[in-house]
Amino acid sequence: MTRLSVNINKIALLRNSRNSNLPDILTMAKDCVAFGAEGITVHPRPDERHIRKSDIPLLRQALDVEFNIEGYPSPEFIELVLANRPAQVTLVPDPPDALTSDTGWDTKTHQRFLIKVIEDFKQAGIRVSLFHNPEPELIPYTLDTGTDRIELYTGRYAQEYANGRENAVKLHILTAEAALDAGLGINAGHDLNLDNLAFYRRQVPGLSEVSIGHAIICDALYYGLQNTIQMYLHQLRGE
């Protein structure tokens, strides 16, 4: 069964647009869980334009579901994650000024760097996932980093879906198969939505978890947050 982790960055972005605590990030995170979310994802960035460092320990203490922290493994990020010990950390190769994550790691080029970072997280009991392009040829190098999972970057899949979904998902299937053969778990995320999620879930083998934020918050403007989360779960359950 594929689990749904709700990324609450856009909720925090709305809060930060005013000098107040509306919406309350802790209340919203707990409501997402009450409405059916099986995990909460955050991606703190250096400029703190949405999730703030100060949010992390409060969320960690308040949540009783999987907490996933995404980010580039800078010294500050590593310190933040080790201090709060989420269930999972997802490492992305974003530069500090990135608007959003739009590519995965080149695990061949950055293997040595990733090995040390991943070892430190795993010694702290934190599951590690690497943001990964649908490139099956990189899986042997990814395996050697010591990561537990990959998170397939689905942005290009979402862009190409309307022009031919079978072709759009082809490399994701091949990469997932290679990862499973290597003993790695499979997550996915970026621009998955109510139109393209069910097909992706049916096609990609071994999909453990999807992380979705932007589309859920956009849909919630029309359907309400509770209904929206249930609609996404419906897509994942094949009901």
Q: Which domain holds residue 67?
A: 3-237
| 239 has catalytic annotation | no
Confidence (pLDDT) at 103: 85
The size of the chain, in residues, is 239
Confidence (pLDDT) at 98: 63
Q: Is the full-model pTM beyond 0.85?
A: yes
Confidence (pLDDT) at 71: 96
Three-state DSSP state, 48: coil
Q: Tens digit of pLDDT per residue, the chain (239 long)?
A: 899 999 999 999 999 999 889 999 999 999 999 999 999 999 999 999 999 999 999 999 999 999 999 999 999 999 999 999 999 999 999 876 666 667 899 999 999 999 999 999 999 999 999 999 999 999 999 999 999 999 999 999 999 999 999 999 999 999 999 999 999 999 999 999 999 999 999 999 999 999 999 999 999 999 999 999 999 999 999 85
Confidence (pLDDT) at 96: 66
| 110 has catalytic annotation | no
Confidence (pLDDT) at 32: 98
Q: What is the CATH number of the domain that holds 109?
A: 3.20.20.70
Confidence (pLDDT) at 93: 94
Catalytic residue among 50, 132, 172, 190: 190
Q: Which residue has the tokens 């393209």?
A: 196
Confirm if 25 and 8 have CB atoms less than 8 A apart.
Answer: yes
Q: How far apart are CA 6 and CA 31, in angstroms?
A: 11
Count of domains for the chain = 1
Catalytic residue among 38, 43, 50, 151: 43
Strand partners, 69: 42, 89
| 70 has catalytic annotation | yes
Q: Where are the beta strands (DSSP E) in the chain?
A: 3-7, 39-42, 66-71, 88-91, 127-132, 149-153, 185-189, 207-212
Burial of 162 (0-12, 13-18, 19+ CB in 10 A): exposed
Q: At what angle do helices 25-34 and 55-62 cross, to 10 degrees?
A: 30
Confidence (pLDDT) at 239: 52
Catalytic residue among 38, 70, 151, 209: 70
